[in-house]
Amino acid sequence: MGRYILYRLISAVPVVLGITVIVFFIMSLIPGDPATAILGAYASPENVAKLNADLGLDKPMVQRYFIWLGNMLGGDFGRSFSLNRPVLDEVVERFSATLVLAGVSLLICSVLGIAAGVVSAARQYGLADKAITLAVLVGISIPSFFLGMLLILYFAVHLRWLPVSGMYEIYGGRTFGDLLRHMILPATALAAVATGVVARLSRGAMLEVLRQDYIRTARAKGVGEGGVIWRHALRAAMVSIIPVLGIQAGFVLSGAVYIEVVFQWPGVGRMLVDAILKRDLMLVQGGVTFVAACYVLFNIIVDVAQSLIDPRIKA
Amino acid sequence: MRPHRLTRRAVLFSSAAALTLATTGLRGPLMAQTPPGVLILGQVAEPKTLDPQAATAANDFRISVNVFDGLVRFKDGTLEVEPALAQSYEISEDGKIYTFALREGIKFHDGSDFNAEAVKFTFERMLKEDHPFANTGPFPLAFFFSSVVSVEAPDAKTAVFTLSEPYAPFLANLATPTGYIISPAAVEQHGADFGRNPSGTGPFKFAEWRANEMVAIEKNPDYWDGPAASDAIVFRPITDANTRTAEMLAGGLDIMVEVPPVTLSQFRNDQYHIVEAAGAHLWFLILNCQDGAFADKRVRQAANYAVNKEALVNDVLEGTATVAAGPTPAAFNWAVNNDLAPYPYDPEKARALLAEADTPNPKITFLVTEGGSGMLDPVAMGTAIQADLAAVGFDVTIQTYEWNTFLDQVNPGLSGKADMAEMAWMTNDPDTLPFLALRSDAFPDKGGFNSGYYSNPEVDDLLNRARVSTSQDERADLYKKMQVIVQDDAPWLFVANWKQNAVATAAVQGLVLQPSFLLTLKSVSKA
């Protein structure tokens, strides 16, 4: 197992390097440079040239890439000019906010999605199955940012039960309950689509497993129906559900961009959107590299988790 | 099947119970209520920096104007300059030496003394590349003071600026955030992080910055011009306009700036009040006077007659702007020519002018941006303008660009690319926009913003004379003459002057918007 993990980690290095190359050169190629973004209407060619020199952007592109990569290996991700603070401080702070939101959404979509899938498979074509299938269809079809706005309008503006936006109350706050109240709406909006996908997939996987001989054997042995479904069938179905959860983790992370904008969640998605519009090269490059590296890491964790459940995958 | 059915019910019931608990049991007592004495203000973005010399955005200025003072400031409700940290000032005969007599006994928020050395430090940090703290920049707007040769402090209460040439907008520039006086001790202590630990002399002192959550400033009880009416102000960055509106409706904000025109109607009731002020802003189209159809003055005038500006400001912008008459916004009350009326909406006259110029159907390429500073609703406006022009015979093709890319297209000049481009400027002196964008010496290849290559020696002469004059009356006279010529020459299609707006709850008192776009909150309070 240790060897398998080490192998996976080493093979991730070229992937992350490739990401740095892509993000660096894409950011260099898109039109509109940082100096124009900073100066706005005052961006005369002369002012732009001077500011680019101040920002160190007058050096050749390849040279800039290696300077950036070298600094990053030494732990220095550079300084964001639009926020005027070190990139790494900002990215870590914002990524943790995204992780909290995405983590809770992933939890919601895993628990609710699998439960819904299992229930609907066990009661195939029953009333529960039909109701769940319909709910899943709605969940998958509704764009998350739109659902988010509807939730804000109803629960925050109309009923005033929950806060509109942000992660904590400006005053007091900072408690777990406060975080929870701010989390309910964005996490629900973010989890909706993923829950639907997981539910559909779990239903399919469960139906597949429930037809297997060993399930019949288990029933014949006299195992109760609950035991058959949750212990025997679900464990076997998890092998095909877990990789989907891994993929959904990626979708939830990227979907967080919209939700973070709608709910003003101080996460990394909103940060990247702002940074791209401001042509904050260092922040985009550092942010994308950091997030991508984490994503690669998650995939490794999912694979390892799967190899723990399914002995056939073990290297 | 029995155990499973029970399980399902149990799951459904417990999740319903959990939801009820979560939505009712955890409801905080402070929900939708802002604390007394503290104003919560919804901003459009996270500030970049509170270092007034490093900042460029109106969003950052809204905070720094309340934390810092300049030597001079704009008089309430105008763009005229009055003394602030300086008690008085004198200008030499030749307009090159400005001597400021500073107020005494004022301290920065960090406890250090405000004096002439602080003035010298502020400007040298921004202007001298060998200054020990020059690396705390960059200072993108330092060119406001590029004519400053030296700043001297002969004694603690006198600051002397020497300019390379007479420069009339100098005082107005001193009243903008780029000219605010900073605490040298705070820069020495925090270095490049001064922008997150600012220290000035203003009515509020910086208290806390929680990234992407809020910036809080609190009352400076020793403020030289009398203490502020509120104990503290919290600026919350809420980038999404819909969310900002929802937050205001839910009671999470006391004041919200830059209300989208379409949501204004939500606030037209007795729970809120809307404040508006015409700003020194101009929304216009740059016309390419060098090549293409607009090289002919009659075609440029025809375009000005063809566009229904009233409909644009009333329907597209929902009354958040007024029709622009000429190149100088009406907010510069002392410099604007009130005899000048906007081009009337007259499609017949436009057709006649096109016929006279022998180009009944000119082909026009029109650069439109998706958004950007001061651009209001550029796509909708661009489309409406295209339709109006088409109605009199123009054949207009729109090309749309994202803001930064758009500036990369427009600022180097329109030649070979387009005949017409949207643009908007917010300025603080009547000199700035025409001097940078209408003179022959301001063509893009000379470092200016005259992207449509307008050239009229008479206008050049008027603008050059206005810049070096130290008499406001003489300058006003020159600008008024310039406006008449420029309006007739029509190098631009003059469209709108934006009225900035804000919404406050009924409890908020004393909120006034300034034509300078600087949001002074010293006398704003909450009942």
Instruction: Report DSSP letters for B306-322, one per residue.
Output: HS-HHHIIIIISTTSEE
Number of A/B CB contacts below 8 angstroms equals 180
CA neighbor of B289 nearest in space, from B106, B119, B134, B493: B493
Measured CA to CA, the distance from residue A93 to residue A315 in angstroms comes to 36
List pLDDT tens digits, range B280-332.
899 999 999 999 999 999 999 999 999 999 999 999 988 889 999 999 999 89
CA neighbor of B79 nearest in space, from B166, B171, B143: B171
Measured CA to CA, the distance from residue B257 to residue B513 in angstroms comes to 10
Per-residue pLDDT band for B5 (boundaries 50, 70, 90) equals very low
Beta bridge partners of B274: B503
Cβ atoms within 10 A of the Cβ of B45, count?
16
List pLDDT tens digits, range A91-102.
988 898 999 999
Question: Could you tell me if residue B490 is left (phi over 0), alpha (psi between -120 and 50 degrees) or otherwise beta?
Answer: left
Cβ proximity of A192 and A148 under 8 Å: no
| Per-residue confidence (pLDDT) for residue B372, from 0 to 100 | 78
Task: Determine, for residues B424 and A41 on separate chains, whether the beta-carbon distance falls below 8 Å.
Answer: yes
Measured CA to CA, the distance from residue B458 to residue B436 in angstroms comes to 16
Extended strands (E) in B238-280: 255-257, 272-278
Asked whether the predicted pLDDT for residue A173 surpasses 70, the reply is no
Task: Determine, for residues B8 and A54 on separate chains, whether the beta-carbon distance falls below 8 Å.
Answer: no
Q: What percent of chain B has pLDDT over 90?
A: 69
Among A80-84, A181-185, B63-67, B111-115, whose mean pLDDT is lowest? A80-84
Asked whether the predicted pLDDT for residue B148 surpasses 90, the reply is yes
Measured CA to CA, the distance from residue A177 to residue A221 in angstroms comes to 47
Per-residue pLDDT band for A4 (boundaries 50, 70, 90) equals confident
| Per-residue confidence (pLDDT) for residue A292, from 0 to 100 | 87
Taking contacts as CB-CB distances below 8 angstroms, the residues of chain B near A256 are none
Burial class (CB in 10 A: 0-12, 13-18, 19+), B80: middle
Task: Determine, for residues A55 and B138 on separate chains, whether the beta-carbon distance falls below 8 Å.
Answer: yes
Task: Determine, for residues A160 and B32 on separate chains, whether the beta-carbon distance falls below 8 Å.
Answer: yes
| Per-residue confidence (pLDDT) for residue B29, from 0 to 100 | 38
Task: Determine, for residues A266 and B54 on separate chains, whether the beta-carbon distance falls below 8 Å.
Answer: no
Cβ atoms within 10 A of the Cβ of B142, count?
19
Measured CA to CA, the distance from residue B323 to residue B342 in angstroms comes to 7
In B364-456, where does DSSP find H-type helix?
378-391, 403-410, 432-437
Across the interface, which of A39, A170, A181 has its CB nearest the CB of B26? A181
Task: Determine, for residues B412 and A44 on separate chains, whether the beta-carbon distance falls below 8 Å.
Answer: no
Taking contacts as CB-CB distances below 8 angstroms, the residues of chain B near A112 are 15
Per-residue pLDDT band for A305 (boundaries 50, 70, 90) equals confident
Task: Determine, for residues B1 and A155 on separate chains, whether the beta-carbon distance falls below 8 Å.
Answer: no
Backbone dihedral angles phi then psi of residue A220, each to the nearest 5 degrees:
-60, -35
Per-residue pLDDT band for B15 (boundaries 50, 70, 90) equals low
Q: What is the mean pLDDT of residues B95-111?
A: 95
Q: What is the mean pLDDT of residues A212-218?
A: 88
Task: Determine, for residues B239 and A274 on separate chains, whether the beta-carbon distance falls below 8 Å.
Answer: yes
Cβ atoms within 10 A of the Cβ of A158, count?
11
Among A182-186, A211-215, B258-262, B335-339, whose mean pLDDT is lowest? B258-262
Instruction: Determine the distance in angstroms separating the CA of B88 from the nearest CA of chain A, rounded to an integer.
Output: 31
CA neighbor of A304 nearest in space, from A249, A260, A246: A246
Task: Determine, for residues A36 and B193 on separate chains, whether the beta-carbon distance falls below 8 Å.
Answer: no
Per-residue pLDDT band for A31 (boundaries 50, 70, 90) equals confident
Taking contacts as CB-CB distances below 8 angstroms, the residues of chain B near A183 are none
List pLDDT tens digits, range B462-474.
999 999 888 889 9
- Mutate which of B5, B239, B243, B443 to test chain A, going by most A C-beta atoms within 10 A? B243
User: Which strand (E) or helix (H) includes residue B141?
Assistant: none
Residue B466 or A84, more confident: B466
Q: Tell me the torsion sign for CA atoms A137, A141, A144, A149.
A: negative
| Per-residue confidence (pLDDT) for residue B56, from 0 to 100 | 80
Instruction: Determine the distance in angstroms separating the CA of A12 from the nearest CA of chain B, rounded to an integer.
Output: 32
Burial class (CB in 10 A: 0-12, 13-18, 19+), B35: middle
Task: Determine, for residues A36 and B404 on separate chains, whether the beta-carbon distance falls below 8 Å.
Answer: yes
* Count of alpha carbons within 13 angstroms of residue A56, beta-carbon side: 14
B297-306 helix and B378-391 helix, angle to the nearest 10 degrees: 110
Taking contacts as CB-CB distances below 8 angstroms, the residues of chain B near A225 are 1-4
Residue in B with minimal Cα distance to A54:
B138
Taking contacts as CB-CB distances below 8 angstroms, the residues of chain A near B405 are 31-32
Residue with the two structure tokens 């929900």: B31
Residue in A with minimal Cα distance to B51:
A84
Instruction: Determine the distance in angstroms separating the CA of B393 from the nearest CA of chain A, rounded to an integer.
Output: 32
User: Which strand (E) or helix (H) includes residue B457?
Assistant: helix B457-468
Instruction: Determine the distance in angstroms separating the CA of A4 from the nearest CA of chain B, rounded to an integer.
Output: 39
Beta bridge partners of B423: B284
Instruction: Determine the distance in angstroms separating the CA of A194 from the nearest CA of chain B, rounded to an integer.
Output: 18
CA neighbor of A147 nearest in space, from A110, A199, A97, A193: A193
- Structure tokens, B486: 């420029």
pTM metric for this prediction: 0.81
- Mutate which of B12, B129, B405, B407 to test chain A, going by most A C-beta atoms within 10 A? B407
Asked whether the predicted pLDDT for residue B17 surpasses 60, the reply is no
Residue with the two structure tokens 């400007």: B123
Residue B466 or B373, more confident: B466
Measured CA to CA, the distance from residue B149 to residue B127 in angstroms comes to 9
Instruction: Determine the distance in angstroms separating the CA of A189 from the nearest CA of chain B, rounded to an integer.
Output: 15
Task: Determine, for residues A262 and B240 on separate chains, whether the beta-carbon distance falls below 8 Å.
Answer: yes
- Structure tokens, A89: 């401080």
Cβ proximity of B151 and B124 under 8 Å: yes
Residue in A with minimal Cα distance to B44:
A264
| Per-residue confidence (pLDDT) for residue B22, from 0 to 100 | 47
List pLDDT tens digits, range A111-136.
999 999 999 998 888 898 999 999 99
Taking contacts as CB-CB distances below 8 angstroms, the residues of chain B near A266 are 211-213
Extended strands (E) in B326-468: 363-369, 395-401, 420-426
- Mutate which of A33, A44, A50, A58 to test chain B, going by most B C-beta atoms within 10 A? A44
Range with top average pLDDT, A59-68, B22-31, B118-127, B210-219: B118-127
CA B33 to chain centre: 31
Per-residue pLDDT band for A310 (boundaries 50, 70, 90) equals confident
Cβ atoms within 10 A of the Cβ of B352, count?
15
Residue B37 or A172, more confident: B37
Burial class (CB in 10 A: 0-12, 13-18, 19+), A18: exposed
Across the interface, which of B195, B423, B444 has its CB nearest the CB of A45? B444
Q: What is the mean pLDDT of residues A230-254?
A: 84
Task: Determine, for residues A180 and B22 on separate chains, whether the beta-carbon distance falls below 8 Å.
Answer: yes
Q: What is the mean pLDDT of residues B15-19?
A: 50
Instruction: Determine the distance in angstroms separating the CA of A111 from the nearest CA of chain B, rounded to an integer.
Output: 11
Per-residue pLDDT band for A18 (boundaries 50, 70, 90) equals very high
* Measured CA angle at B430 (ends B427, B434), to 5 deg: 90
Residue in B with minimal Cα distance to A97:
B212
Across the interface, which of A84, A229, A271 has its CB nearest the CB of B48? A84
Cβ proximity of B510 and B275 under 8 Å: no
Per-residue pLDDT band for B101 (boundaries 50, 70, 90) equals very high
Measured CA to CA, the distance from residue B292 to residue B420 in angstroms comes to 10
Task: Determine, for residues B8 and A264 on separate chains, whether the beta-carbon distance falls below 8 Å.
Answer: no
In chain A, where does DSSP find H-type helix?
2-29, 34-39, 45-54, 61-73, 87-122, 127-141, 144-151, 176-210, 213-221, 225-226, 234-263, 268-277, 281-309
| Per-residue confidence (pLDDT) for residue B32, from 0 to 100 | 46
